[in-house]
Structure 1
Amino acid sequence: MTIRNRLTLISSLTFGVVFALAALVVYYTFVVASERIIFSDLQKTGLLSAMFYLEEDELSIREHNRIRTDFEEEMQQTDVKVYDRSGRLRYGNGQFRESVTPAMLTRIREEGRVRFKTAGYYYYGLHYPDNQGDFVVVVAADHSFFTEQRNQLLLMMGIALGIGLLLIFLLSHVLSRLAYRPISSVIHQVNQLQAHNLERALTLPRTKDELRELISTFNGLLLRLSENFVIQKNFINYVSHEFKTPLASITGNLEVFAQRDRSPAEYRKVSETVLAEVSQLEHILNNLMILAGLRTNPQGNATFRADELLWDVMDRVFERWPQAKPLIGLDVSVADAGRLVVSGYRNQLHMAVYNVIDNAVKYAQGKPVAIALAESEGVLQLTVKDQGSGIPPAELQFVHQPFYRGSNVGDTKGSGIGLSLAVLICKQNGVGFSLTSNEQGTLATFNFSQL
């Protein structure tokens, strides 16, 4: 069952239940109020009857005639019987279809005034002592008129319930279609989504309700999915690019080497080349495993000098970027050599520092890069500052994500893995890392743990 039909049925059922309960209250109130009026009229008629039959000898002719007039008006729809002390009928119009039992008369005498009903009549009994004796006046009214009114009321309420249910069903069906229209629009937009256009946000409804909040949340999910697809794509590109060169070198060397017999020196040379390429593949695999959190420090923390680590990193940087050597400024200003000793996994931290400096040189676009190793408030601090175009403020929070690349990198090649790998390595080795950026450049800071 669709939501629209369910809403229609629920609203119709709710109306039916509420109307039925209201009808029961109205019916009960009508019956109680009507019977109260009937018994009140019977009480009045009983008093008039007693005065008409029993007070004739005590009233003037004028007063008795006035009572007679009122009595005759009341008697049009009422039967009256007057019984003496022995239970014998003394007065009355003689039209009762049911006789009053001695038990009823005794009860009336004991209680003074009694009202009750049977299958055909409403009764009101009145004990009326008089100078002529002890009498009981019993007044009765037929059920038929009240029953007819009650049945008409039930019929009208039944008709109103049927018409109301029909109208509520039709209105609920129309209103549910209108209320479901934004959901239909969302379903249509979702059906248009593909892996290549997940970043396209769904149109938000103009209302400020839960549906708008749901669609806004779903748009956030789509954005995260889109980012994950981009990360996966960059991951595949990174792996294929990084693995392609060593594998091609290994394959080429082996193919050439297998064309004819080789000397032991040539075997040794090819073996060294293949081992070097395999070592490069292992290095790439280690990077990926560290990035995935599958490999941490297998050797435990060790102590080493931060300046020696920095020189090793710079050798590798100058090897890759020989043209940038004049642009890189290096300053080590720690007088006490003992303050340069830090703890951590050296190979991993070497990788992290190299990735940050490599990024600085790459995105500096031929501008100077300042690298400084110094103490700041008792903490050994390594800073790397470039004068590139910087990172947009809105994207700074995403640069730590694997394979994420800023929107302003242009044609500069990269995989987006270096900075995220550096962040993860620093976290695993207890090294503080922070990154600030603006239009004048980017500043990366390492805070090393000293002994």
Structure 2
Amino acid sequence: MKIKDRIALYFTLITTSMLLAVLCVIYFTFMKFLQADFFERLTDRTMVTAKLYLEADEISRDALNSVRHKYLQKLNGEVTRIYDYKNRATFIGDTTQYWTKATIDKVRKNGNLKYVDGQRQVVGIYYKDNQGDFVILASADDQGSHNRLSKLLKIMIFVFVLISVVVLILSRWIAEKMLKPLKNLTNEVKQIDARNMEVRLGTTKNKDEINLIAESFNQLMGELEQAFILQKSFVANASHELRTPVTRLMMTAELALSKDREIKAYREVLLSVLEDAEKMEHIINGLLALAKMDLELIKSQSYPISLNEVLKKTQYEWQINKVLPLELDLSGASHEQAFILANHILLQIALDNIISNAFKFSDGHRVICSVRENNQHIQITITDQGIGIPASEKEEIFKAFYTRAAQAGLQGEGMGLYMTKKIIELFHGTIDISDNEDAGSTFTLNFPKL
């Protein structure tokens, strides 16, 4: 059963149950009212009978009967009896013992009596007169009230069925209207697949449950999209970067096996294979580092950090642990104001990558790191005394697996500056490269200041 049908059914059951309870209360209240009213009418008839038959001594019985029938409305199945102290019916046209002795004695004992006997209602009173003590009992069938109750019951059943149908129809309409945003949400979700994971669900300013579901789904899709991009990037990079060394390795092996060669030739082939294998190892390590870094970027959380503190820690690690001359100039920034919104670990990785490259290409010579700030930005400059960077390579060095290490006779995987740029851009910063006047290069990092 669909949700809208369940909502309509539950709403209808609750509403009709309440309606049924109200109708039942009205019916039984009206029934009790009619019953009490008829008891009052019977009581009045017993009092009139007592006055006519017992106190009007000078009037004959036939004359009293004539007056009684003339001014009192005849009730359906009406029976009236007056009993004397010996429980004998008297002052009536017959002496039929209509009520039992126990009933008559009960009226005499209690003074009055009211009860229902099947369809009939009975009233009894104890009346003292100068002629003696008498018990007057009267009963009748309130057919008029029964007819009214029957009609009322039919009307209530009709109203109950009609309102139940109307409530069911309206509740289905309301449920469908309420769940229309959820239906639209479902249709939007169906449109999302691996080819368009950038699509997001529409949200509103309402803070209802459906809007919260859409926001949570969009957040989940964002993480899935990043993971999917990470997977595609890893596969693409792996297939692209590993294809060349694997092909060269296979060609070298096939060429060596094409004919018998001297031991020296086989040795050269093995050395070439080993070189290609080492290169593949560097590429695999770089791919793993890239995947790990992308994952960290996805999960990273930013918070205010002090650049002065980060740079002091970086200087300590390079000078003490690695014994390399990293100079730090913090004169252009105050300790209280040099704060940016970043992740401490990722920022440390980015700075270490730049400083590591600076020492690598300057053969361990001095590297200077300085901080400057203005009203909107904080600037970090890292200057080395190395071989410099050609203008044609200033954009290429930030690409994955691009390496200048071979030109300088150094080993590298081409991942450091690529990850550095991704980290800096994650924190809404920029990175630029400029040449020094004499030798070396300067990396300039700009971050928005808090």
Asked if the contact 1:52/1:71 (under 8 Å) is kept, the reply is no
Q: Which residue of 2 aligns with 1:337?
A: none
Q: Which residue of 2 aligns with 1:21?
A: 21
Q: Which residue of 1 aligns with 2:400?
A: 414
Cα 1:94/1:237, change in 2 over 3 Å:
farther
1:115 Cα offset (Å): 0.6
Measure, in 1, the Cα distance between the counterparts of 2:256 and 2:351. Answer: 35
Q: Which residue of 2 aligns with 1:104?
A: 103
1:41-190 matches, within 5 Å, as 41-57=41-57, 73-77=71-75, 79-92=79-92, 99-190=98-189
Aligned AA (1:155) = K
SS state of the match for residue 128, structure 2? strand
SS state of the match for residue 134, structure 1? strand
Q: What TM-score, normalized to structure 1?
A: 0.63
SS state of the match for residue 198, structure 2? coil
Q: Which residue of 1 aligns with 2:252?
A: 253
Cα 1:370/1:183, change in 2 over 3 Å:
farther
Q: Which whole-Å deviations, capped at 9, do the CAs of 1:332-354 have from their partners, x for residues lacking one?
A: 58xxxxxxxxxxxxxxxxx9689
Aligned AA (2:175) = S
Aligned AA (1:253) = T
Q: Is it true that 1:357 corresponds to 2:354 in the alignment?
A: yes
Cα 1:287/1:48, change in 2 over 3 Å:
farther
Cα 1:14/1:437, change in 2 over 3 Å:
closer
Q: Which whole-Å deviations, capped at 9, do the CAs of 1:378-399 have from their partners, x for residues lacking one?
A: xxxxx98569xxxxxxxxxxxx
Cα 1:217/1:71, change in 2 over 3 Å:
farther
Measure, in 2, the Cα distance between the counterparts of 1:137 and 1:203. Answer: 84
Q: What TM-score, normalized to structure 2?
A: 0.63
1:182 Cα offset (Å): 2.2
Q: Which whole-Å deviations, capped at 9, do the CAs of 1:71-129 have from their partners, x for residues lacking one?
A: 96444325432111111111347799x92111111111111111111123101111112
SS state of the match for residue 204, structure 1? coil
Q: Which residue of 1 aligns with 2:222?
A: 223
Asked if the contact 1:108/1:114 (under 8 Å) is kept, the reply is yes
Q: Which residue of 1 aligns with 2:299?
A: none
Could you say what the CA RMSD is over the residues aligned between the two structures, in angstroms? 4.5
Asked if the contact 1:4/1:176 (under 8 Å) is kept, the reply is yes
Aligned AA (2:18) = V
Q: Which whole-Å deviations, capped at 9, do the CAs of 1:211-262 have from their partners, x for residues lacking one?
A: 1221222122222221111111111123223433432332233233334443
Aligned AA (1:125) = G
Aligned AA (2:214) = I
SS state of the match for residue 33, structure 2? helix
1:168 Cα offset (Å): 1.9
Cα 1:231/1:208, change in 2 over 3 Å:
same
Q: Percent identity?
A: 24
Asked if the contact 1:126/1:137 (under 8 Å) is kept, the reply is yes
Measure, in 1, the Cα distance between the counterparts of 2:224 and 2:200. Answer: 12
Asked if the contact 1:182/1:205 (under 8 Å) is kept, the reply is no
Measure, in 2, the Cα distance between the counterparts of 1:283 and 1:44. Answer: 115
Measure, in 2, the Cα distance between the counterparts of 1:12 and 1:95. Answer: 61
SS state of the match for residue 262, structure 1? coil
Q: Which residue of 2 aligns with 1:438?
A: 429
1:348-387 matches, within 5 Å, as 356-357=353-354
Measure, in 2, the Cα distance between the counterparts of 1:370 and 1:164. Answer: 87
Measure, in 2, the Cα distance between the counterparts of 1:283 and 1:411. Answer: 17
Measure, in 1, the Cα distance between the counterparts of 2:292 and 2:227. Answer: 14
1:412 Cα offset (Å): 4.6
1:315-326 matches, within 5 Å, as none
Measure, in 2, the Cα distance between the counterparts of 1:70 and 1:192. Answer: 89
Cα 1:69/1:371, change in 2 over 3 Å:
farther
1:199-214 matches, within 5 Å, as 199-204=198-203, 208-214=207-213
1:191 Cα offset (Å): 2.0
Aligned AA (1:191) = K
1:278 Cα offset (Å): 2.2
Aligned AA (2:25) = V
Asked if the contact 2:399/2:418 (under 8 Å) is kept, the reply is no
Cα 1:122/1:286, change in 2 over 3 Å:
same
Q: Which residue of 1 aligns with 2:405?
A: none
Measure, in 2, the Cα distance between the counterparts of 1:150 and 1:417. Answer: 92
Q: Which whole-Å deviations, capped at 9, do the CAs of 1:354-386 have from their partners, x for residues lacking one?
A: 97228988xxxxxxx96659xxxxxxxxx9856
Aligned AA (1:331) = L
Measure, in 2, the Cα distance between the counterparts of 1:90 and 1:386. Answer: 131
Asked if the contact 1:80/1:93 (under 8 Å) is kept, the reply is no
Bigger drift between 115-124 and 272-281 goes to 272-281
1:192 Cα offset (Å): 1.7
Measure, in 2, the Cα distance between the counterparts of 1:184 and 1:152. Answer: 46
Gaps of 5+ in 1: 294-304, 313-329, 334-350, 362-368, 374-382, 388-408, 423-434, 445-451
Gaps of 5+ in 2: 294-316, 329-347, 359-365, 371-378, 384-394, 402-413, 421-425, 432-443
SS state of the match for residue 233, structure 1? helix
1:275 Cα offset (Å): 2.2
1:190 Cα offset (Å): 1.9
SS state of the match for residue 124, structure 2? strand
Asked if the contact 2:429/2:446 (under 8 Å) is kept, the reply is no
Measure, in 1, the Cα distance between the counterparts of 2:356 and 2:51. Answer: 118
Asked if the contact 1:45/1:71 (under 8 Å) is kept, the reply is no
SS state of the match for residue 195, structure 1? coil
Measure, in 2, the Cα distance between the counterparts of 1:4 and 1:245. Answer: 59
1:274 Cα offset (Å): 2.1
Cα 1:94/1:306, change in 2 over 3 Å:
farther
